[in-house]
Chains A and B, each alone.
Chain A
């Protein structure tokens, strides 16, 4: 027994008697128990429940129905609409947030003074409580006193105030616009951080090598940022696909399912229609997509750590 071990024995012989190879894991146990019980176990539970037909009102009395819930997803046109909405949400929302966020991040880096204050202000939409941000947009898109209607009238795009949130054709878009507003600041901050991480000397070396500003961007900035951008892209996908509050606050997924995305549909199926089995099957679907995104996230992450 080493001297250090002897002094440590004051903290308990019980711990000391555990072999070192197991003792290492002890500090990790509490976190893993917490995560295991409240995050990992529910995932397994969702998979299990998805094979049952059961009501939220009596969750213990499920009936095994095999793949019937998945069949429902396959055949129900409402759910097709939801999946299509989700696809539009994720693709349009992510691409727009990335484009807008990148421009914003570049402006922060290149054009704005007091970068840290400016970036704190830019971040406000992201950190604001979700419900607050969503309700502002709900108000702005409103049909009676909405400022956006007024703006459209002033610009001559529409003649009179129109109903947007309550319209089956339009209701998908206002939450997307709100979501871009919330996510773009996050991407802007990622962009800013990546830009700041690029050694100033590389740009100077490129200037000496005769590269124009565009060429410096094309050949230095973009390649240097590629993994960070990939991380940001995956984050946008993940945040978009798992979003609930923006849609729920603004439209509750309606009218009908016209603005419902997967998470909103899960909520409605489980807590409005009480159909736990179908909601679980939808959860598994969402879970699989998130797993794919996470897999790539971890892959890019490992790449990043190994870079340079």
Chain B
């Protein structure tokens, strides 16, 4: 029963205790950290400190990238570095674009049309590597989404022998990325005579991301109500028609998310792009790497190029955020 026993004073002084402070009986289950003013302040200080340090660690590098991109070449070389740019300048971005135009062979065109002479010391075609990456990423995304979705539909809807083993193999293959197989992959691509082609990357990235898509879309189909499929059957749709006219439109968001997942992976992958391509065909990651290694005194240019190649990724992130955890964990964790 809700006794008014106070552990300190004992039951005999109950009445007195209550007379003194009527809320005393509500104090018997208190903790120092959460019920005293000192404890509350301590918690606030600790939480505030931890938040600040965490956010600095997390966000400062991003801030630093943006700020560096906005500094002039001269300001970059100052020691100690300036935390706020003194003379914000777009010089970095200008140099990136100029070098792209020149390396890409458009300098002459620009000179004729705009009357501007471009002569850049930097010879990395940032726009070129972006175009290469777009080609590879879209190709891989399409392959992964189409093949993955078809497979996931069957894996979700039908029971058959070896299904669990198949799903496990797919999940495990998600865990085996480039670094474990880069050497044999190189041999394989050479055997197939695909070295230094974007097709090789499209196929490999497609293979790496289609298990993602299978797991993500299987999650979708698992929760897809049977009644809708039955309704479409009553309306005399064949399985293919049901899939195409009923399920695919409803799956639109999941499909787009799958595509962006595959796209992002292809956009970010370094190992295969580095080992299976030559310089002139580089995609963003190895291209940017040569940029970093070749021009690491001109950090404003590197930072500007970094920002440019990061934009597609950030746009993609905004869209797929909702699916992120599911996609990354193969649906192990549901949001």
Do A and B touch directly, given a CB cutoff of 8 Å in the complex?
yes
Partner of A185, one of B58, B160, B178, B285: B58
Give residues 227-273 of B contacting A (CB, 8 Å): 233, 236, 238-240, 264, 267-268, 270-271
- A104 contacts the other chain (Cβ, under 8 Å)? yes
Contact check, B211 vs A45: say whether CB atoms are below 8 A apart: no
Give residues 278-307 of A contacting B (CB, 8 Å): 279-280, 283, 286-287, 290-291, 293-295, 297-298, 300-301, 304
CB contact under 8 A between A8 and B239, given known A35-B210, A35-B211: yes
Nearest chain B residue, comparing its CB with the CB of A245: B270
Give residues 129-148 of A contacting B (CB, 8 Å): 129-133, 135-140, 142, 144-147
Within the assembled complex, what's the spacing in Å between the Cα atoms of A37 and B84? 51
Give residues 125-170 of B contacting A (CB, 8 Å): 143, 147-148, 150-151, 153-155, 158, 160, 166, 168-170
Nearest chain A residue, comparing its CB with the CB of B335: A193
Contact check, B147 vs A132: say whether CB atoms are below 8 A apart: no
The 8 A CB mask of B307-335 against A (1 = contact, 0 = none) is 00110011011100100110011101111
Contact check, B310 vs A128: say whether CB atoms are below 8 A apart: yes
CB contact under 8 A between A139 and B181, given known A30-B150, A181-B61: no
Residues of B close to A68: CB separation below 8 A: none
Give chain B's interface secondary structure class: helix
Q: Which of B14-22, B72-80, B88-96 forms part of the interface with chain A? A: B72-80
Residues of A close to B80: CB separation below 8 A: 150, 153
Contact check, B34 vs A30: say whether CB atoms are below 8 A apart: no
Residues of B close to A135: CB separation below 8 A: 288, 292, 302, 306
Residues of A close to B318: CB separation below 8 A: 120
- B29 contacts the other chain (Cβ, under 8 Å)? yes
Contact check, B313 vs A129: say whether CB atoms are below 8 A apart: yes
Residues of A close to B211: CB separation below 8 A: 31, 35
Contact check, A7 vs B151: say whether CB atoms are below 8 A apart: no
Q: How many inter-chain contacts with C-beta < 8 Å in the A-B complex?
A: 295
- A176 contacts the other chain (Cβ, under 8 Å)? no
Q: Which of B3-11, B62-70, B101-109, B110-118 forms part of the interface with chain A? A: B62-70
The 8 A CB mask of A110-123 against B (1 = contact, 0 = none) is 01000010011111
Contact check, B31 vs A214: say whether CB atoms are below 8 A apart: yes
- Chain B CB within 10 Å, residue with most, of A103, A132, A140, A153: A132
Q: Which of A19-27, A75-83, A87-95, A166-174 forms part of the interface with chain B? A: A19-27
Residues of A close to B61: CB separation below 8 A: 125, 133, 136-137, 140, 181
Residues of B close to A242: CB separation below 8 A: 175, 177-180
The 8 A CB mask of B41-69 against A (1 = contact, 0 = none) is 00000010011001001110110110010
Nearest chain A residue, comparing its CB with the CB of B334: A197
- A179 contacts the other chain (Cβ, under 8 Å)? no
Contact check, B176 vs A231: say whether CB atoms are below 8 A apart: no
Residues of B close to A186: CB separation below 8 A: 328
Give residues 17-48 of A contacting B (CB, 8 Å): 21, 24-25, 27-28, 30-32, 34-35, 37-43, 45-46
Q: List 8 A-B contacts (CB under 8 A).
A: A31-B210, A37-B207, A46-B181, A129-B288, A129-B306, A138-B292, A283-B182, A294-B172
Nearest 7 pairs of A and B residues by beta carbon: A263-B179, A45-B184, A42-B184, A38-B207, A42-B181, A132-B306, A294-B172
**B interface residues with partner A (beta carbon < 8 Å):** 29, 31, 33-34, 47, 50-51, 54, 57-59, 61-62, 64-65, 68, 76-81, 83, 143, 147-148, 150-151, 153-155, 158, 160, 166, 168-173, 175-188, 190, 203-204, 206-208, 210-211, 214, 233, 236, 238-240, 264, 267-268, 270-271, 275, 284-286, 288-289, 292, 296, 299, 302-303, 306, 309-310, 313-314, 316-318, 321, 324-325, 328-330, 332-335
Q: Can you add 14 more A-B contacts, CB < 8 Å, to A107-B51, A161-B79?
A: A7-B238, A34-B207, A42-B188, A128-B310, A130-B270, A131-B270, A138-B292, A235-B328, A235-B329, A244-B271, A263-B179, A263-B180, A293-B175, A294-B172
